[in-house]
Amino acid sequence: MSSMGDNTKSADVSISVESVDDQSSSIPPPKIATTATEPPLSKKSRVDPRTDPYGYLGLVRNPDGSDTRKSNDDPKTPISSYNGSPTLLVKDITVNESKNTWARVFLPKEAINSSPAGRKFPLLIYIHGGGFVICNVATPLFDKLYRIFTPEIPVMLVSIEYRRAPEHRLPAAYEDCLEDLHWIKNSKDEWFTKYADFSNTFLMGSSAGGNIAYFIGLRASVSPGDLKPLNIKGVILNQPFFGGVKRTRSELRNANDKVLPTPLSDLMWELALPVGSNRDHEFCNPILNYKKGQFNHIKALGWKILVTGYYGDPLFDRQVELVKMLEENGLPVLSKFDAGGYHGIDTAEWPNAKALSKVVKYFVESNIATLTV
Protein backbone atom coordinates (compact mmCIF):
# COMPACT_ATOMS: atom_id res chain seq x y z
CA MET A 1 0.00 0.00 0.00
CA SER A 2 1.43 3.33 -1.01
CA SER A 3 0.89 5.78 1.81
CA MET A 4 1.94 9.18 2.99
CA GLY A 5 5.36 9.15 4.61
CA ASP A 6 8.52 11.31 4.76
CA ASN A 7 10.44 12.05 1.56
CA THR A 8 8.87 14.34 -1.01
CA LYS A 9 9.29 17.90 -2.17
CA SER A 10 6.86 19.13 0.51
CA ALA A 11 8.02 19.39 4.08
CA ASP A 12 4.51 18.55 5.27
CA VAL A 13 3.37 15.96 2.76
CA SER A 14 5.40 12.97 1.68
CA ILE A 15 5.22 9.43 0.39
CA SER A 16 6.50 6.14 1.71
CA VAL A 17 5.42 2.52 1.66
CA GLU A 18 3.85 1.24 4.86
CA SER A 19 1.51 -1.50 5.95
CA VAL A 20 -1.63 -0.48 7.82
CA ASP A 21 -3.77 -3.19 9.41
CA ASP A 22 -6.02 -3.40 12.45
CA GLN A 23 -3.21 -3.37 15.02
CA SER A 24 -2.63 0.01 16.61
CA SER A 25 1.09 -0.65 16.86
CA SER A 26 1.36 -0.68 13.07
CA ILE A 27 -0.41 2.62 12.54
CA PRO A 28 2.04 5.38 11.56
CA PRO A 29 2.23 8.24 14.05
CA PRO A 30 -0.18 11.05 13.24
CA LYS A 31 1.26 13.87 11.16
CA ILE A 32 -1.32 16.39 12.31
CA ALA A 33 -2.87 17.73 15.45
CA THR A 34 -6.08 15.98 16.42
CA THR A 35 -7.75 18.32 18.85
CA ALA A 36 -10.24 15.73 20.04
CA THR A 37 -10.65 11.97 19.95
CA GLU A 38 -14.42 12.48 19.80
CA PRO A 39 -16.30 15.61 18.71
CA PRO A 40 -19.22 17.22 20.51
CA LEU A 41 -22.72 16.25 19.51
CA SER A 42 -24.26 17.96 16.53
CA LYS A 43 -24.99 21.59 17.32
CA LYS A 44 -28.00 21.35 15.04
CA SER A 45 -29.83 18.61 16.86
CA ARG A 46 -28.24 18.24 20.30
CA VAL A 47 -29.56 14.68 20.01
CA ASP A 48 -27.31 11.74 20.80
CA PRO A 49 -27.19 9.49 17.70
CA ARG A 50 -26.31 6.51 19.89
CA THR A 51 -29.67 6.56 21.66
CA ASP A 52 -31.96 8.37 19.21
CA PRO A 53 -30.72 8.02 15.61
CA TYR A 54 -34.12 9.03 14.20
CA GLY A 55 -34.12 12.23 16.21
CA TYR A 56 -30.54 12.95 15.20
CA LEU A 57 -31.51 12.69 11.52
CA GLY A 58 -34.61 14.82 12.05
CA LEU A 59 -36.93 11.98 11.04
CA VAL A 60 -40.09 10.44 12.48
CA ARG A 61 -41.05 6.80 11.86
CA ASN A 62 -44.77 6.62 11.10
CA PRO A 63 -47.10 3.77 12.20
CA ASP A 64 -47.23 2.47 8.62
CA GLY A 65 -43.42 2.17 8.52
CA SER A 66 -42.83 5.23 6.36
CA ASP A 67 -40.61 8.08 7.46
CA THR A 68 -41.31 11.81 7.62
CA ARG A 69 -38.66 14.52 7.70
CA LYS A 70 -39.49 17.05 10.40
CA SER A 71 -38.09 19.98 8.44
CA ASN A 72 -36.17 20.74 5.27
CA ASP A 73 -34.87 23.94 6.79
CA ASP A 74 -31.30 22.74 7.26
CA PRO A 75 -28.59 25.11 8.50
CA LYS A 76 -26.80 26.76 5.59
CA THR A 77 -23.75 28.95 5.28
CA PRO A 78 -25.16 32.04 3.53
CA ILE A 79 -23.31 33.02 0.41
CA SER A 80 -23.09 36.52 1.87
CA SER A 81 -20.66 35.17 4.48
CA TYR A 82 -18.01 35.10 1.75
CA ASN A 83 -18.41 38.78 0.91
CA GLY A 84 -15.11 40.54 1.34
CA SER A 85 -13.08 37.33 1.40
CA PRO A 86 -9.48 38.10 0.41
CA THR A 87 -9.06 34.68 -1.20
CA LEU A 88 -12.41 33.52 -2.62
CA LEU A 89 -15.07 34.35 -5.16
CA VAL A 90 -18.31 32.38 -4.70
CA LYS A 91 -21.56 31.90 -6.58
CA ASP A 92 -24.57 29.55 -6.41
CA ILE A 93 -25.98 28.09 -9.62
CA THR A 94 -29.12 26.00 -10.15
CA VAL A 95 -28.49 22.65 -11.84
CA ASN A 96 -31.95 21.05 -12.05
CA GLU A 97 -34.82 23.10 -10.69
CA SER A 98 -37.26 20.18 -10.75
CA LYS A 99 -34.96 18.17 -8.46
CA ASN A 100 -33.85 21.19 -6.43
CA THR A 101 -30.22 20.38 -7.17
CA TRP A 102 -27.64 23.13 -7.35
CA ALA A 103 -23.95 23.84 -7.00
CA ARG A 104 -21.85 26.27 -5.01
CA VAL A 105 -18.83 27.32 -7.06
CA PHE A 106 -15.61 28.60 -5.50
CA LEU A 107 -12.91 30.40 -7.47
CA PRO A 108 -9.55 31.64 -6.16
CA LYS A 109 -9.67 35.41 -6.13
CA GLU A 110 -6.27 35.40 -7.80
CA ALA A 111 -8.08 34.27 -10.96
CA ILE A 112 -9.16 37.83 -11.69
CA ASN A 113 -5.68 39.17 -10.96
CA SER A 114 -3.65 36.47 -12.69
CA SER A 115 -0.72 37.24 -14.87
CA PRO A 116 -0.78 36.24 -17.64
CA ALA A 117 -4.49 36.84 -18.01
CA GLY A 118 -6.59 33.78 -18.62
CA ARG A 119 -4.96 31.40 -16.16
CA LYS A 120 -7.07 28.30 -15.62
CA PHE A 121 -7.29 26.19 -12.49
CA PRO A 122 -7.71 22.43 -12.00
CA LEU A 123 -11.35 21.55 -11.43
CA LEU A 124 -12.19 19.83 -8.13
CA ILE A 125 -15.74 18.49 -8.05
CA TYR A 126 -16.66 17.92 -4.41
CA ILE A 127 -19.49 15.70 -3.10
CA HIS A 128 -20.55 16.28 0.49
CA GLY A 129 -21.37 13.63 3.07
CA GLY A 130 -24.27 13.10 5.46
CA GLY A 131 -25.06 9.40 5.21
CA PHE A 132 -27.20 10.10 2.10
CA VAL A 133 -29.85 11.43 4.51
CA ILE A 134 -28.74 14.79 5.95
CA CYS A 135 -26.57 17.80 4.97
CA ASN A 136 -26.34 19.82 1.78
CA VAL A 137 -23.84 21.80 -0.26
CA ALA A 138 -24.04 24.76 2.13
CA THR A 139 -23.96 22.84 5.42
CA PRO A 140 -21.51 24.75 7.66
CA LEU A 141 -19.61 21.53 8.38
CA PHE A 142 -18.04 21.59 4.91
CA ASP A 143 -17.23 25.29 4.84
CA LYS A 144 -13.69 24.74 6.17
CA LEU A 145 -12.73 22.60 3.18
CA TYR A 146 -14.10 25.13 0.71
CA ARG A 147 -12.28 28.05 2.29
CA ILE A 148 -8.99 26.17 2.58
CA PHE A 149 -8.86 24.03 -0.57
CA THR A 150 -9.82 26.67 -3.13
CA PRO A 151 -6.98 29.16 -2.56
CA GLU A 152 -4.33 26.85 -1.11
CA ILE A 153 -4.24 24.04 -3.70
CA PRO A 154 -5.42 26.17 -5.72
CA VAL A 155 -8.45 24.85 -7.60
CA MET A 156 -11.81 25.87 -8.91
CA LEU A 157 -14.01 23.93 -6.50
CA VAL A 158 -17.57 22.97 -7.41
CA SER A 159 -19.63 21.46 -4.59
CA ILE A 160 -22.57 19.59 -6.11
CA GLU A 161 -25.95 18.69 -4.63
CA TYR A 162 -27.99 15.49 -4.83
CA ARG A 163 -31.39 14.35 -3.60
CA ARG A 164 -31.45 12.68 -0.20
CA ALA A 165 -32.88 9.51 1.25
CA PRO A 166 -35.34 8.31 2.41
CA GLU A 167 -37.38 10.41 -0.01
CA HIS A 168 -34.99 9.46 -2.81
CA ARG A 169 -33.14 6.21 -2.21
CA LEU A 170 -30.00 5.11 -3.99
CA PRO A 171 -29.17 5.16 -6.85
CA ALA A 172 -30.81 8.64 -6.98
CA ALA A 173 -27.71 10.33 -5.53
CA TYR A 174 -25.48 8.63 -8.12
CA GLU A 175 -27.77 9.67 -10.96
CA ASP A 176 -27.96 13.26 -9.70
CA CYS A 177 -24.20 13.62 -9.38
CA LEU A 178 -23.64 12.22 -12.86
CA GLU A 179 -26.18 14.74 -14.10
CA ASP A 180 -24.19 17.42 -12.24
CA LEU A 181 -21.05 16.39 -14.14
CA HIS A 182 -22.86 16.73 -17.46
CA TRP A 183 -24.20 20.11 -16.36
CA ILE A 184 -20.65 21.26 -15.60
CA LYS A 185 -19.28 20.13 -18.95
CA ASN A 186 -22.08 21.95 -20.79
CA SER A 187 -22.13 25.09 -18.67
CA LYS A 188 -21.73 28.38 -20.47
CA ASP A 189 -21.14 30.24 -17.21
CA GLU A 190 -18.14 32.52 -17.59
CA TRP A 191 -16.34 31.03 -14.59
CA PHE A 192 -16.31 27.60 -16.21
CA THR A 193 -15.43 28.78 -19.71
CA LYS A 194 -12.78 31.26 -18.57
CA TYR A 195 -11.17 29.79 -15.45
CA ALA A 196 -11.77 26.02 -15.27
CA ASP A 197 -9.14 23.67 -16.69
CA PHE A 198 -11.42 20.81 -17.71
CA SER A 199 -8.40 18.78 -18.83
CA ASN A 200 -7.44 18.42 -15.15
CA THR A 201 -10.62 17.36 -13.37
CA PHE A 202 -10.72 15.55 -10.02
CA LEU A 203 -13.67 13.95 -8.21
CA MET A 204 -13.67 14.14 -4.42
CA GLY A 205 -16.15 13.01 -1.82
CA SER A 206 -16.25 12.86 1.98
CA SER A 207 -18.06 10.04 3.82
CA ALA A 208 -21.23 9.29 1.81
CA GLY A 209 -19.81 11.64 -0.81
CA GLY A 210 -16.81 9.32 -1.04
CA ASN A 211 -19.17 6.43 -1.71
CA ILE A 212 -20.84 8.48 -4.44
CA ALA A 213 -17.51 9.49 -5.98
CA TYR A 214 -16.50 5.81 -6.11
CA PHE A 215 -19.66 4.67 -7.87
CA ILE A 216 -20.03 7.57 -10.31
CA GLY A 217 -16.35 7.16 -11.11
CA LEU A 218 -17.04 3.56 -12.09
CA ARG A 219 -19.99 4.63 -14.22
CA ALA A 220 -18.21 7.56 -15.86
CA SER A 221 -15.18 5.43 -16.73
CA VAL A 222 -17.25 3.20 -19.01
CA SER A 223 -18.01 6.05 -21.43
CA PRO A 224 -15.46 8.80 -20.74
CA GLY A 225 -16.18 10.45 -24.06
CA ASP A 226 -19.64 11.38 -22.82
CA LEU A 227 -18.07 13.80 -20.34
CA LYS A 228 -15.69 15.55 -22.73
CA PRO A 229 -14.20 18.09 -22.39
CA LEU A 230 -14.02 16.99 -18.72
CA ASN A 231 -10.94 14.80 -18.37
CA ILE A 232 -10.90 13.08 -14.98
CA LYS A 233 -7.38 12.58 -13.67
CA GLY A 234 -8.11 11.25 -10.20
CA VAL A 235 -10.67 10.28 -7.58
CA ILE A 236 -10.28 11.28 -3.92
CA LEU A 237 -12.14 9.23 -1.29
CA ASN A 238 -12.05 10.99 2.09
CA GLN A 239 -13.21 8.59 4.85
CA PRO A 240 -15.65 6.94 2.39
CA PHE A 241 -18.89 5.47 3.76
CA PHE A 242 -19.18 1.73 3.10
CA GLY A 243 -20.61 -1.11 5.15
CA GLY A 244 -21.67 -4.73 5.31
CA VAL A 245 -23.76 -7.18 7.30
CA LYS A 246 -20.79 -8.74 9.09
CA ARG A 247 -19.19 -6.30 11.51
CA THR A 248 -15.52 -5.48 11.12
CA ARG A 249 -13.15 -5.12 14.05
CA SER A 250 -13.08 -1.34 13.71
CA GLU A 251 -16.90 -1.23 13.72
CA LEU A 252 -17.01 -3.36 16.87
CA ARG A 253 -14.23 -1.36 18.49
CA ASN A 254 -16.00 1.96 17.78
CA ALA A 255 -19.63 0.82 18.08
CA ASN A 256 -20.42 3.69 20.46
CA ASP A 257 -18.66 6.34 18.41
CA LYS A 258 -20.27 9.75 18.97
CA VAL A 259 -20.32 10.66 15.28
CA LEU A 260 -21.14 7.38 13.55
CA PRO A 261 -22.34 4.86 16.17
CA THR A 262 -23.69 1.53 14.95
CA PRO A 263 -27.40 2.43 15.37
CA LEU A 264 -26.98 5.57 13.25
CA SER A 265 -24.90 3.90 10.56
CA ASP A 266 -27.35 1.01 10.26
CA LEU A 267 -30.32 3.38 10.07
CA MET A 268 -28.70 5.47 7.35
CA TRP A 269 -28.17 2.37 5.24
CA GLU A 270 -31.73 1.19 5.92
CA LEU A 271 -33.05 4.53 4.70
CA ALA A 272 -30.71 4.90 1.72
CA LEU A 273 -30.53 1.44 0.14
CA PRO A 274 -33.23 0.17 -2.23
CA VAL A 275 -36.26 -1.13 -0.32
CA GLY A 276 -35.73 -4.70 0.84
CA SER A 277 -31.93 -4.58 0.57
CA ASN A 278 -29.49 -5.29 3.38
CA ARG A 279 -25.99 -3.93 3.97
CA ASP A 280 -24.44 -6.48 1.64
CA HIS A 281 -26.03 -4.69 -1.32
CA GLU A 282 -23.44 -3.53 -3.84
CA PHE A 283 -24.02 0.16 -3.00
CA CYS A 284 -22.96 -0.52 0.58
CA ASN A 285 -20.50 -3.41 0.28
CA PRO A 286 -18.53 -3.10 -2.97
CA ILE A 287 -15.85 -5.53 -1.81
CA LEU A 288 -18.33 -8.39 -1.36
CA ASN A 289 -19.88 -7.55 -4.74
CA TYR A 290 -16.62 -7.22 -6.66
CA LYS A 291 -16.84 -8.40 -10.27
CA LYS A 292 -13.76 -9.36 -12.22
CA GLY A 293 -12.77 -6.68 -14.70
CA GLN A 294 -14.94 -3.92 -13.22
CA PHE A 295 -11.93 -1.61 -12.88
CA ASN A 296 -10.54 -2.22 -16.37
CA HIS A 297 -11.86 1.08 -17.73
CA ILE A 298 -10.41 3.12 -14.87
CA LYS A 299 -7.10 1.33 -15.26
CA ALA A 300 -7.02 1.99 -19.01
CA LEU A 301 -7.77 5.68 -18.46
CA GLY A 302 -4.88 5.98 -16.03
CA TRP A 303 -6.94 7.52 -13.24
CA LYS A 304 -5.21 7.77 -9.87
CA ILE A 305 -6.96 7.10 -6.55
CA LEU A 306 -6.39 8.73 -3.15
CA VAL A 307 -7.99 7.23 -0.02
CA THR A 308 -7.71 8.92 3.38
CA GLY A 309 -8.87 7.73 6.79
CA TYR A 310 -8.28 7.41 10.52
CA TYR A 311 -7.86 4.48 12.90
CA GLY A 312 -10.54 5.96 15.17
CA ASP A 313 -13.18 5.83 12.42
CA PRO A 314 -15.59 2.85 12.65
CA LEU A 315 -15.19 2.57 8.86
CA PHE A 316 -11.39 2.24 9.04
CA ASP A 317 -11.23 -1.49 8.23
CA ARG A 318 -13.52 -1.16 5.23
CA GLN A 319 -11.42 1.70 3.86
CA VAL A 320 -8.22 -0.34 4.22
CA GLU A 321 -9.87 -3.32 2.51
CA LEU A 322 -11.03 -1.05 -0.31
CA VAL A 323 -7.45 0.09 -0.88
CA LYS A 324 -6.28 -3.53 -0.98
CA MET A 325 -8.99 -4.45 -3.50
CA LEU A 326 -8.07 -1.54 -5.77
CA GLU A 327 -4.36 -2.34 -5.57
CA GLU A 328 -4.96 -6.02 -6.30
CA ASN A 329 -6.66 -4.91 -9.50
CA GLY A 330 -3.64 -2.92 -10.59
CA LEU A 331 -4.93 0.57 -9.84
CA PRO A 332 -2.44 3.21 -8.66
CA VAL A 333 -3.64 4.02 -5.15
CA LEU A 334 -2.20 6.51 -2.70
CA SER A 335 -3.47 6.09 0.85
CA LYS A 336 -3.07 8.09 4.04
CA PHE A 337 -4.31 6.54 7.28
CA ASP A 338 -3.56 8.33 10.54
CA ALA A 339 -3.83 7.29 14.18
CA GLY A 340 -6.63 8.60 16.35
CA GLY A 341 -9.27 10.79 14.79
CA TYR A 342 -12.93 10.02 14.23
CA HIS A 343 -15.36 9.91 11.35
CA GLY A 344 -15.64 13.33 9.75
CA ILE A 345 -12.68 14.89 11.56
CA ASP A 346 -11.35 16.44 8.35
CA THR A 347 -14.47 18.55 7.96
CA ALA A 348 -14.96 19.21 11.69
CA GLU A 349 -11.48 20.36 12.75
CA TRP A 350 -9.51 23.22 11.15
CA PRO A 351 -6.05 21.62 11.68
CA ASN A 352 -7.20 18.42 10.01
CA ALA A 353 -8.84 20.26 7.14
CA LYS A 354 -5.58 22.14 6.60
CA ALA A 355 -3.59 18.91 6.68
CA LEU A 356 -5.96 17.23 4.23
CA SER A 357 -5.58 20.17 1.86
CA LYS A 358 -1.83 19.52 1.74
CA VAL A 359 -2.41 15.86 0.90
CA VAL A 360 -4.91 16.75 -1.82
CA LYS A 361 -2.60 19.48 -3.13
CA TYR A 362 0.22 16.94 -3.48
CA PHE A 363 -2.13 14.48 -5.21
CA VAL A 364 -3.47 17.08 -7.64
CA GLU A 365 -0.05 18.52 -8.49
CA SER A 366 1.34 15.02 -9.05
CA ASN A 367 -1.36 14.12 -11.55
CA ILE A 368 -2.09 17.20 -13.62
CA ALA A 369 -0.98 18.01 -17.10
CA THR A 370 0.60 21.40 -17.74
CA LEU A 371 -1.98 23.99 -16.80
CA THR A 372 -3.52 26.02 -19.57
CA VAL A 373 -2.60 29.69 -19.58
Residues noted as catalytic:
207, 313, 343
Separation between Cα atoms, residue 66 and residue 201, nearest integer Å: 40
Go through the chain and tell me how many residues it has. Answer: 373
Separation between Cα atoms, residue 15 and residue 18, nearest integer Å: 9
Cα angle 236, 344, 219; round to 5: 35
- Mapped onto helix, strand or coil, the DSSP state of residue 102 is strand
Q: Transcribe 134-154 into DSSP letters.
A: S--TT-GGGHHHHHHHHHHTT
Nearest to 307 by CA among 355, 218, 238: 238
- Which amino acid, 284? C
- Which amino acid, 288? L
- 279 HSE (CA, 13 A, CB side): 16
Q: Cα 49 to the chain's mean position, in Å?
A: 21
94: Cβ contacts below 8 Å, ≥ 6 apart: 101, 102
Contact assessment for residue 272 and residue 165, using Cβ atoms and an 8 Å cutoff: yes
Separation between Cα atoms, residue 177 and residue 199, nearest integer Å: 19
Cα angle 27, 30, 36; round to 5: 110
